[in-house]
Amino acid sequence: MKRRTFISLLGGAAVAWPLAARAQQAVMPVIGYLSSRSPDETAHLVAAFRQGLGENGFVEGQNVTIEYRWALGQYDRLPAMALELVRHPVTVLTTTGGAPSAFAAKAATSTIPIVFTTGDDPVKQGLVASYNRPGGNATGVRLLTTAEPKRLGLLRELVPQATTIGVLLNPAFSESASQLSDVLEAVRTLNLQVHILQASTDREIESAFEAVAAQGIQALAVASDPFFDTRREKLVALAARHAVPTIYHFREYAVAGGLMSYGVDASDAYRLVGVYTGRVLKGIKPADLPVIETVKFQFVISLKTAKALGVTISDNLLSLADEVIE
């Protein structure tokens, strides 16, 4: 090969290399991450999601891009956000923060793969055909957040003298009907009176706690709800202000100063969502990925908060706790 020709080839290669790199970057898969919640209070969960992606060899910014959309507990914002991601377009839609984001994604596309989280039965909700054979374009992880009977039982043991307890629900949450059914069944078994409190706005949350104080409600259970999760600090502060023993559904509430929590390990569930999203990116169809049902629960007690409230934690409750915050 002549020297001039060789130099020309090298020059052409020098131009081609960055073009090839740009082409590779252009086809980097994109995850549309749609959440009912907010980025600040779920930072640890997003980290767990990224961990699950990493288990399949995907690292954000290196070989996958993630487009985030946050509804901040406002469910009516989700449909437009889902459509925006579909038009982006994205390779896969990952939805977190319960069923509202999953429903929005399902309504937006019947072709783009969806990996969802939900707290209720996804078959009854119509998200999938069955657990083992989801069918369609969606699969995901069921977080067993609807554990009201267990939470109410723990609350009854905490305050055995209570004859009336309150349960705070969000009627705007798609799973609230099944939560209410579980609550009513549980209080019949426990021989308790229940006062159902409802809140879908910040002002209604404040009004609910005012009702707790005014009506002498002796203990409170806050139902699982992404809107409540985005107001975690507010809920914990109001429970402290009104001195009402309260149980929540995620460990994060107890860490933030709530008295007790009982529910699934959300970080582990989000890691599994990341694992499934990674498998879809590798070409596996959602219809071939059975829905996962989380079974890892955590019961957390804050002794610091109990002391502040003047509540005595029984030895039995302490023995049941997976974690005790001093």
**Tens-digit pLDDT profile for residues 105-133:** 999 999 999 999 998 899 999 999 999 99
| CB 169 within 8 Å of CB 235 | no
pLDDT of residue 79: 98
SS3 263: strand
Residues 6+ apart with CB under 8 A from 227: 36, 73, 74, 75, 170, 172, 173, 200
Q: Is a pLDDT exceeding 70 seen at residue 28?
A: yes
| CB 169 within 8 Å of CB 176 | yes
Please tell me what DSSP assigns to residue 162: -
Mean pLDDT score across all residues of the chain = 90
| CB 63 within 8 Å of CB 315 | no
Other CB atoms within a 10 A radius of the CB of residue 37 amount to 22
- Of 151-160, 235-244, 274-283, the range with the lowest mean pLDDT is 151-160
Q: How many Å apart are CA 92 and CA 291, to the nearest integer? A: 16
Q: How many Å apart are CA 208 and CA 120, to the nearest integer? A: 25
Q: How many residues are given for the chain?
A: 326
**Domains of the chain, start order:** 17-144+266-296 (3.40.50.2300), 148-264+298-325 (3.40.50.2300)
Q: 197-216 pLDDT, tens per residue?
A: 999 999 999 999 999 999 98
- What interhelical angle do 202-214 and 232-241 show, nearest 10? 20
Nearest to 247 by CA among 221, 223, 226: 221
DSSP-H helix ranges across the chain = 3-26, 43-54, 78-87, 99-108, 122-125, 148-158, 176-190, 202-214, 226-230, 232-241, 251-255, 266-281, 303-309, 315-320
Nearest to 223 by CA among 323, 157, 123, 152: 152
Q: How much is the pTM?
A: 0.87
Q: 173-186 pLDDT, tens per residue?
A: 988 988 999 899 88
Q: How many Å apart are CA 122 and CA 298, to the nearest integer? A: 22
* End-to-end alpha carbon distance in the chain: 78
pLDDT of residue 204: 98
Please tell me what DSSP assigns to residue 311: P
Q: How many Å apart are CA 229 and CA 249, to the nearest integer? A: 9
Tracing tokens 């790199």 back to the chain, one arrives at: 21
Give the model's confidence band at 162: pLDDT under 50 very low, under 70 low, under 90 confident, else very high.
confident
Nearest to 169 by CA among 227, 111, 234, 82: 227
Q: 275-317 pLDDT, tens per residue?
A: 999 999 999 999 999 999 988 899 999 999 999 999 999 999 9
pLDDT of residue 142: 94
Give the model's confidence band at 16: pLDDT under 50 very low, under 70 low, under 90 confident, else very high.
very low
Region 94-99: what's the mean pLDDT?
A: 94
| CB 199 within 8 Å of CB 161 | no
